[in-house]
Amino acid sequence: MTIDGPELVVFDFDETIVDCNSDTYINELATDGVIPEEIMNKYYDHNNWIEYMRQVLTYLHKSGVTEEELRNCLKRMPLITGMKDLVSNLKNSGPQKYELIIISDANTLFIGQSLEFNQLDKAFRKVYTNPAKFDGNGCLQLEGYHDQNWCDISSINLCKGFVLMDYIAKRKIEDNIIFSRVSYIGDGNNDICPALKLTPNDRKNIPTDIKTGLSKEQLIETIKDYEALIVRSATNVTADVINAGKKLKVIGRAGVGVNNIDVDAATKQGVIVINAPGGNTISACELTCTMILSLSRHITQACASLKSGVWDRKSFSGNELLGKTLAIIGLGRIGREVATRMQAFGMKTIGFDPLVSADVSKTFGVESFPLDQIWPQADYITVHTPLIPQTKNLLNDKTLGECKKGVRLINVARGGIIEEEALLRALQSGQVGGAGLDVFESEPPKRTQLISHPKVICTPHLGASTAEAQINVAKEIALQFLDLIDGKSIHGCVNASLLPKH
């Protein structure tokens, strides 16, 4: 499938266009005597740029520094030599060939006041920014530095990658423009995707195409021309797709689960499958902790009751977590993060993982036990294992019967680890006192009795559904692609036997 639309050239601004580093404008202010040197030394911290800026801006505001003084200082910041020529060459290639946009972070709002840049800006169709919204108490609001050349579309917490996807989608829907290619030009400082940035010093120049919403037939037709494929959870990479990709060498899943990829078919064809096991760790951990807290205080049930017009305090009396025992089945990245957080609530943490020794588990505060000793001890059980033959229906009629009466279960890992029919029976009998479920044997779930049970909190597989997790898995998978090309070891290979032994 050939697309004849223009190429979208994305300048990930920061230090690519303006000849400076992250603190040049603050140094300029210090040189001018606007910020005393002792204030700079007190607040300066490369590792916490936002807090540094917050403190400096607060000081400036309290010291009576005017917006005009800031502008006059910042206007002197020079553009990188050659940037004007680059933009000129791109524009001279024809209006239908390239479309130029800028995506930038908060500090560029300062740089954007440069007279030089405002002239250069006319070459760009649109300028997108992420304005910082520092919390009040006299802090200067960077939004005040906007002019008509800047399009304020998001907060500092909204990833530039999402901004770009939104821009591409709007151009397609509103203007019927489909880009033939997307090129990134970045400096490596919080780029959209650091691993795939295009700079003069970049170690790899990997052509990348973004194609979303393809049907299975379109994907089969498209994949013929590609050596690598990256997907998220919505795209099913079936045997038919893999067989059609005669040039295909690697499939990347921007996420943990590879249920949507036919790994066996890929292995037979010699295609390496990699995932991003670490990118959603914190998001999945935090959802697990949320489930534990909600189960202990009946949050969702009490909320639903009150919204229905009932003021009922007696029915939703809960339990403290202090002194309760949390069993963690699977002591990998997520399980360990859950342990440290719930220990802060005073919970005793025990666990089981055949791949983690008792000595190692002690280093993060978890006492290891065999499974048959786990069940009768636990007030709460959370599972963090893959779905493999050894873990399928791990919690069933037998094991649930061995648990402490009223135990609460949490599954943010994989559907099928807890046998759903057995769980429903245990809930009905009172053997299980509550369950927090984010995953199910089939999705959407078919057992309406289970999800509608009054002691069940359920969510539609939201473990990795945070802005941060989506960015982290994208970065992780892209960096693994580069390591694979360089012949380095990678940590997310699903079918590792295909990798060269060296």
Q: What is the pLDDT of residues 23-72, one digit of tens each?
A: 444 555 555 555 555 555 554 444 444 444 455 555 555 665 555 555 55
pLDDT at 273: 94
Structure tokens at 289: 């902790």
Cα 489 to Cα 153: distance, rounded to the nearest angstrom = 40
CA distance to 42, 44, 110, 197, 371, per residue, from 30 (Å): 13, 12, 15, 33, 62
Angle value at C-alpha 222, between 220 and 225, nearest 5 degrees: 115
Residue 213 vs residue 219, higher pLDDT? 219
In this prediction, residues 296-312 reach a mean pLDDT of 96
Q: Which of 67, 217, 320, 443 is catalytic?
A: 443
Classify the C-alpha dihedral 333-334-336-337 as positive or negative: positive
pLDDT at 18 over 70: no
pLDDT at 465 over 60: yes
pLDDT at 445: 92
Cα 215 to Cα 198: distance, rounded to the nearest angstrom = 30
Residue 298 catalytic? no
3-state secondary structure of 401: helix
Strand order in the sheet with 126-129: 151-152, 126-129, 98-104, 7-12, 181-185
Residue 414 catalytic? yes
pLDDT at 415 over 60: yes
pLDDT-based confidence at 208, cuts 50/70/90?
A: confident
Q: Dihedral through CA 339, CA 344, CA 350, CA 351, nearest 10?
A: 0
Query: Among 141, 137, 104, which residue's Cα sits nearest to residue 16?
Result: 104
pLDDT at 485: 77
pLDDT at 501: 52
Angle value at C-alpha 374, between 369 and 378, nearest 5 degrees: 130
Question: Contact 457/436 with Cβ under 8 angstroms?
Answer: yes
Q: Which of 336, 384, 408, 414 is catalytic?
A: 414
Cα 43 to Cα 208: distance, rounded to the nearest angstrom = 40
Average pLDDT, the chain: 75
pLDDT-based confidence at 97, cuts 50/70/90?
A: low
Cα 368 to Cα 410: distance, rounded to the nearest angstrom = 19
Phi/psi of residue 243, nearest 5 degrees: -65, -30
CA 19 centroid distance within chain: 30
pLDDT at 497 over 60: yes
pLDDT at 277: 86
Residue 116 catalytic? no
Q: What is the pLDDT of residues 220-231, one digit of tens each?
A: 999 998 999 999
Least confident interval from 13-17, 191-195, 201-205: 191-195
Q: Which of 384, 441, 461, 476 is catalytic?
A: 461
pLDDT at 42: 54
pLDDT-based confidence at 20, cuts 50/70/90?
A: very low
Cα 159 to Cα 172: distance, rounded to the nearest angstrom = 20
In this prediction, residues 168-191 reach a mean pLDDT of 65
**CA count, 13 A, side-chain hemisphere, 217:** 0
